[in-house]
Amino acid sequence: MAQATSTDLTPTLPKRPTVGTLGKPITVRTNYYEIDKRPQGPLYHYDCKITDREPRALPNAKPIPVAKTRLIMMEFMEKVLKHEIRVSYDGKYNLHSYRKLPQDKLTSEDTIVYWTRPFFPILSLRPLNPQVTLNSLGGHADVYKISLELVNVIHLEAFNALNKGIRPTTSDQAGQIVTAMNILDVLIHQWPAQRYIAAGKNFYYPAGTVPMSSGLEVWRGAFQSIRMGENGKLYVNVDTAAAAFRKPKNLVDMMAEFFSMHNPNDFLRYKGLADWQTRDLNREYRGTEIEITHRGGDNRPRFKIERFTMQTAEKLKFRDDQTNKELSVANYFKQQYNAQLKYGAYLPCVVIVKKKREIFFPVELCRIVENQRYKNKLNPRATADFIKIACTKPEERERKIQELIRQIDFENNADLRAWGMHVNTKQMLTLNGMYSPCVGLLGSKFVISQDPIPDSHVLLVAVARVLPGPVLAYDPSSKQGQLTPREGAWNLVGQVVPFGSKLTSWAIAVFGSENEMPNIAIGRFIQELVNVCTERGMNVVNKNPKVVRGNRNEDPTVALDKAYSFASFRDPATNIPVVPQLIMCILNDKAKQSRLYDPVKKWGDCKQGIVTQCVTYYPHVPRAQNQYCNNLFLKINAKLGGMNIKLAPKMLGRWNEVPCIIVGCDVTHAPIGSTSPSVATLVASMDSSFARYAAEIRAQPLRREIIEDFGGMLKALLNMFYLRNNKAQPQRILVYRDGVSEGMFEAVKKYEIDAIKRTCAELSVNFKPLVTYVAVQKRHHTRFFPMDQNRDRSGNCVPGTVVDTGVTHPYEFDFFLQSHAGIQGTSRPTHYQVLHDEFQFKSDELQLLTYRLCYTYGRCTRAVSVVPPVFYADQCGYRVRTHLKDANKWSGDESKRTDDSGEDPASLFETLSVNIKGVSRLGFCIS
């Protein structure tokens, strides 16, 4: 998913028609601090290359790590430039300065950096010729060359003019502004990156770490990034950050934690690990840096783990180069280093690769190195631990941000001082005539209070509005035929859904024994579920489905096939057997955490083409609670083609006065380290209520973000819409596109919006619907903190809070919308950026339409945080991962296949069953 920013100033994007006015005005704080001094320019751009003096021996050798190139450049500034000039360096090829360097061009032969491990540089530069020698702790010396060449002078007239309200009129001017923003964003990260552990725009520090499961610990940190807001003002967006790091401990201790053992001595009970345990270790620790401890002292060479052996240290044998004799790894270390292995007969060896040779080390002689951020996907238990530790309430998050401002220490940032920049962390800002205790009533301008607030770091104060919520429509027989939610939520008690599905043929597959999951408890649960489904408007014909038991340690498809054979039931109205519609699976683990979940979904989606519903046995089945059964009903009814909710008439304004369609798009990528293809998903509304959706899915090459077959997928959905709406074609198409960063806006406009136009023309020459295309961005760090009584029970802003001034784009059409009620932690608003608008939405219209659509998500009775089409597209993409022929490809535990292998991405997935058609195609993704 994309990082949301407000820095793309491409003149071709739609301009904000007007600032929105609808709703109740409220005042909020946001985690932005104004940069009240900025460089005036010009800036000097140098092409920078840092290379080995001698070519690397391996043809496919990895480039010098960015962390190391930045350290080399630090030494360059300190030892050569004497800090008289401070540069902005991105760690790769781009170096910028506010002053010209002593020479416009330094060739590779002029500059040499000697780098001695661990990180003690000796640098000499000719012809500037200062000599710098630092004492080395010993170790190998690497030699690097620096080449610098002045390639451009960047003038900042357009950048500074924007601050005066003068907008760019050409692409060159817009490009100048974007370039300046990127340079300053790199600059502002250099100072903390030298003092802390940097990762992208985040940095972390080891103070106050909190231990968690799986051999990990949580480090606190900060995020910071430069943003441009109203009237071209510059801000620093500062937010809290947290990340999982590996604990620096002996590898055996970490393995015990990973397997949730009480202590490492538990390994002594078994002679070796099971194969699945070794596979899990490979997946967990491949690429982790370790140091070897058997020599003692400071002589601890470091390597990265390639894999673990299947044999223990006592059983694994190799041929010693010196004696040409075969001996075990355990005996070798005993003879050579007098190392008596405690776990030699019980645990495997680590395999590292050095100069294309495999070397074995017993795990107890390995120690995990400090400061290693965990980059794998957290397992369910670790995820729960991390959320519990990292989740903070709004008041606490605001306090922590203010503490981070002191820790970041903008006032003493030497880079900012040298570049003539200053971040105002002690003055409160306000917007649009709202009363602020520090500023008073300020009219409509964006004004800085002249009175500093002592001993505090106050966040930016912005004006927000709370949009009016919708009226929801239920069946007239309901307790309330029309219902108005309160605080973004409502209750199903007494309500009958607009359209209930008919359930005739179904069965229950129970993956547990009678002792673990008694029939009497299952019977009570099914009876309560049937009663709830009936009360809510479903027609459940077979109220006593057959129950089949399966062994959870065996292939689940055996029990699923059996349940399918028992599911068919004769409809009393026609006396005709109905094809099985639903198999409910009762599991002993949390549904999506169970190892049975993926096989069950693949079986249902690809083999039989039948809806499956997974249920966690404990605590839900024994308790048979009405609330849980209501939640389950929402999923089942939606999967079977029912309609759980719709908006009351006239809730969507002029948008649906004619046939129109809403499309949600997303591309789902596999975790880091996986070579699984990406999955592109389009979902589209199929009715005027925007309550029923159909989906189209395509596999495409790894990490490809543009949807390659956008036109083909859209054509299938438009044909479906045509057939389901009395051969009416939509006159308006509204697209919500997830996962688009500001750097991709032009590529999306060029490819995907053009694909929409081409597709419509292919269907009919006269088919020319109005197209509006909105990018949806969730991965950003803008947060809003309520300042008055306009907060919900969690302390967050109330649902419907919208902001389109202050921290939004200076003039393009974008806004932040917090549509949901907070449950835990600090709510994240969603950022919406209009990329194309033929319908010519007014600000209030698009904001209100987007907000009210958030109440139409089919599987809960709450407003959701993002428009449902995007939610559905995201769910579909994630669901398709279960269709992989080789499930290990998603997790990365497979042979290394690259994107250029020529393999058809679709060939790696099982084909979706032909029984899943039309609108029901969305049902398979609502887990």
Each residue's pLDDT tens digit, 542-584: 999 999 999 988 899 999 999 999 999 999 989 999 999 999 9
Characterize 244-269 residue by residue with b for buried, 16 or more Cβ atoms within 10 angstroms of its Cβ, and e for exposed.
bbbbeebbbbbbbbbeeeeebeebee
pLDDT on residue 262: 87
Q: Which residues pair with 205 in a beta bridge?
A: 220
Q: One-letter amino acid identity for 493? A: V
Q: What percent of the chain has pLDDT over 70?
A: 87
Q: Which residue is associated with the tokens 């004492």?
A: 135
Mean pLDDT by 10 residues, the chain (927 residues): 46 87 92 93 92 63 80 80 87 93 69 47 41 35 78 94 88 90 94 88 92 94 93 92 96 94 90 90 94 87 95 92 88 93 96 92 96 90 91 92 89 93 72 35 31 47 88 97 96 96 97 95 98 98 97 92 96 92 93 88 94 95 96 96 93 88 95 85 94 93 93 96 95 95 88 96 96 96 88 93 93 96 94 96 96 96 97 93 82 48 81 72 58
pLDDT on residue 67: 81
- Residue 292's CB: how many other CB atoms inside 10 A? 18
Question: Per-residue DSSP letters for 225-252?
Answer: EEEE-GGG-EEEEEEEEEEEEE--SBHH
Q: Taking the model in full, what pTM does it have?
A: 0.90
Query: 500-638 domain in CATH 3.40.50.80?
Result: no
pLDDT on residue 60: 62
Q: One-letter amino acid identity for 844? A: D
Tell me the fold of 251-369.
paz domain (2.170.260)
Greatest Cα-to-Cα distance within the chain, rounded to the nearest angstrom: 97
Cα 796–Cα 875–Cα 259 angle in degrees, nearest 5: 85
CA separation, residue 548 to residues 44, 564, 623 (Å): 73, 10, 21
- What dotted CATH number matches 651-778+830-842+863-888+902-922? 3.30.420.10
Strand, coil or helix: 480: coil
Q: Which of 710, 676, 648 is nearest to 873 (CA)?
A: 710
Positive or negative CA dihedral for 475, 480, 483, 487?
Answer: negative
pLDDT on residue 109: 52
Q: Which residues contact 17 (CB under 8 A, 6 or more apart)?
A: 813, 840, 841, 842, 843
Q: Which residues pair with 34 in a beta bridge?
A: 235, 424
Q: Is 503 exposed, middle or buried (0-12, 13-18, 19+ CB in 10 A)?
A: buried
Q: Measured between alpha carbons, how far is 822 from 488 in angstroms, rounded to an integer?
A: 9
